[in-house]
Amino acid sequence: MCGIVGYLGTKNAAPLLIDGLRRLEYRGYDSAGITVISGRSLCSAKTVGKVELLTEAAKDLQGQGTVGIAHTRWATHGEPSVPNAHPQFDCTESIAVVHNGIIENYSQLRKKLEENHRFLSDTDTEVIAHLIEEYLIADGSFESAARRALADLEGTYALALLFAYEPETIIAARNGSPLVVGVGENEYFVASDPVAFLKRTNNVLYLADGEIAVISPDGMQVTDHEGNQVYRETVFVDTEQEELGKNGFPHFMLKEIFEQPKTIQETFNERFDMEEGTARLSVIDDLFPRILHSRRITIVGCGTSWHAGLVGEYMLEQYARVPVEVEYASEFRYRDPLLTPNDVVIGISQSGETADTLAALREAHRKGAVVIAICNSTESSIARACDATLAMNAGPEIGVASTKAYTSQLIVLMLLTLALARKKTMSRDEGQLLIRELRALPGKIERILSDNTAILKIAEEFYQCQHFLYLGRGFNFPNALEGALKLKEISYIHAEGYPAAEMKHGPIALIDANMPVVFLAPRDHTYEKILSNIQEVKARKGKIITVADEDDHDVEQLSDYVIRIPKTIETLTPLLTIIPLQLLAYHIALLRGCNVDQPRNLAKSVTVE
């Protein structure tokens, strides 16, 4: 997944483009490049590595021009290298292309073009530049040549195109990858995410799949894939500037971990009906009867969002008594799932742009199921593909490792569970108790966060270990998976999560004095069983880190380290036990010198399959 930015206006383009790339680095950061138009020629710079390296390489472009495009890359085709960095060019270097997505038929196109064109990269993107070059010879007009080239493409793209001989034009096109246009005062931005230009304008036009925007100082023309004029209002995107900064934290990840008391409040805000002891989710009012009487709920997602779905399964089945299945979106989409209009499919996605989750939801929609998104961006591709979107309201999550988004997803799932359960067997009193417990969560999370230094001490003990095991049961089994994912994706330590009882079926062979084992052991209905599992690890000299209730002294003599959490009802324990695991992963990664906000090989949203 990559980040693209374009600018056309009256200001010096290079610094605005590079600043935009910085704000999109969460989308990929293995190489970066920029092209501005100066006179009737393209001036470019490209580097391997992060955007800050491009700043230096592009210093000669300052003041060169007021129209340009730029790109930060997460490699799909072709390794991270200067030739493979975008922009990509045609043979004459008068056409420049930046691209996010995958051109599925690029090898066939390249084979045909190679007869008369010289390719310099291994990317799929380069074929677009040569296709436009080819059509320009026949056609003469940049716009019509671009249209013809786009018509040849199969796959997904968000594109920004420049042509040196039409220096006051940018062409933007979207198909399957996010692309927006920022409309400012005598200036336009094109970007993968509005966050790239919100410093300059909050007026955002969201392009839809198949649409092309031709932008010039005279204005912007948007047409659909048949060339019909599209008239759409811009949306005012009100993201406060400070939300985009670190607010004094050393990393976005730590900021977002510490934001969770506030963000879960934002997520459940105004969604409670205390009198009735239920949740109010007005966006699904029309669909509620179908959801309430559905024969099954299937939850699809990837990574952390899939883990949230697993917690949702426990919630919904326990309280709403509805059968739930949780599926990896990437598997679900390809196995011709058995769905009927009596099914509900919920897609969980922080970014709203994960390709596999989007495809899974489109497949469910095609089969007539009710399709609902739990998403942090109500304007995203996933939100647009669904019948309704339950907003997470967690604010922009910049750190690649998902933290506040996860707890917000759990809150939305709990609200949905409450709304359904109160129409079934849950009493008003039980609903009111649940609401009180939900409202108490921010304060309880604050108390865990105040233990940050103690968790750092544990990290100092274990940061050089090569393997970790995370074990939990019931509502906290998914958190064992999530805690393991947090650690491995930012510290690069191998970590596995398991249902604690599963340890006996193999993983226990891994236990020795070098193996730290993290147990999630709040006093719930499986507590006694977890104690036995802790004993089993202790008997094999494993190092034991236990997350336990603050008044639980039974675990002390069994554990090398205990991290305390306030008590809450069993269903809500995952919202508390995950906090220490986020902090533990953060500190261990830092101690290992890793880049916690932009871990190697990763991107914030995987918009490719």
Query: Does 354 help bind ligand AGP (rule: CB under 6 A)?
Result: yes
| Packing angle, helices 428-449 and 404-421, rounded to 10 | 170
Task: Candidates 65-73, 77-85, 212-220, 348-356: pick the segment binding ligand AGP (CB under 6 A).
Answer: 348-356
Residues with Cβ within 8 Å of residue 336, at least 6 apart in sequence: none
- Shortest approach of ligand AGP to residue 402 CB, angstroms? 4
Q: Which stretch binds ligand AGP (CB under 6 A): 100-108, 395-403, 467-475, 585-593?
A: 395-403
The burial of 241, by beta-carbon neighbours within 10 Å (0-12 exposed, 13-18 middle, 19 or more buried), is given as exposed
Q: Please report whether residue 497 would count as binding ligand AGP according to CB under 6 A.
A: no
Cα distance between residue 49 and residue 47, in whole Å: 6
Specify the residue, 46 or 604, whose C-beta has the smaller distance to ligand AGP: 604
Q: Cβ closer to ligand AGP: 482 or 552?
A: 482
Give the whole-angstrom CA distance, residue 70 versus residue 25: 12
CB of 347 to ligand AGP, least distance (A): 8
**Is position 393 an interface residue for ligand AGP (rule: CB under 6 A)?**
no
Residues 421, 78: Cα–Cα separation, whole Å: 50
Per rule CB under 6 A, is residue 435 in the interface with ligand AGP?
Answer: no
302 binds ligand AGP (CB under 6 A): yes
Among 35, 94, 357, 479, which residue interacts with ligand AGP (rule: CB under 6 A)? 357
CB of 529 to ligand AGP, least distance (A): 29
Should residue 178 be labelled a site residue for ligand AGP when binding is judged by CB under 6 A?
no
* 491 part of the interface to ligand AGP, by CB under 6 A: no
Give buried/exposed letters for 101-140 (b at 16+ CB in 10 A, else e): bbbeebeebbeebeeebebebebbbbbbbbbbbbbbeebe
Q: Does 351 bind ligand AGP (CB under 6 A)?
A: yes
In which residue are the tokens 């019509």 written?
144
**Single-letter amino acid code for the residue at 162:** L
516: nearest Cα among 543, 537, 485: 543
Q: Is 304 in the site for ligand AGP (CB under 6 A)?
A: yes
604 is catalytic: yes
* Residue 565, CA distances (Å) to 137, 180, 497, 552, 575 in order: 68, 43, 20, 10, 10
Q: Which residues within the stretch 396-415 sit at the binding site for ligand AGP (CB under 6 A)? A: 400-402
Count of residues near ligand AGP by CB under 6 A? 15
Residue 99 contacts residue 88 (beta carbons within 8 Å):
yes
> Could you tell me the smallest distance in angstroms from the CB atom of residue 361 to ligand AGP?
11
Answer yes or no whether residue 489 interacts with ligand AGP by CB under 6 A: yes
Q: Which is nearer to ligand AGP, 27 or 473 (CB)?
A: 27
DSSP code at position 352: S
Does residue number 349 form part of the binding site for ligand AGP (CB under 6 A)? yes
Q: Which span (54-62, 102-110, 206-214, 351-359) binds ligand AGP, by CB under 6 A? A: 351-359
Q: CB-wise, 244 or 510, nearer to ligand AGP? A: 244
Q: Helices marked H in 184-302 — which ranges?
A: 241-244, 252-258, 260-268, 288-292
| Residue among 46, 404, 444, 604 flagged as catalytic | 604
350 touches ligand AGP by CB under 6 A: yes
- Closer to ligand AGP by Cβ: residue 153 or 490: 490
Q: Which residue is nearest to ligand AGP (CB)?
A: 303
- What are the tokens at 36? 């501005």
Which secondary-structure segment (H or E) carries 416? helix 404-421
Number of other residues whose CB lies within 10 A of the CB of residue 227: 9
597 binds ligand AGP (CB under 6 A): no
Which active-site residues does the annotation give? 2, 604
Applying CB under 6 A, the residues found at the interface with ligand AGP are: 302-305, 349-351, 354, 357, 400-402, 489, 605-606
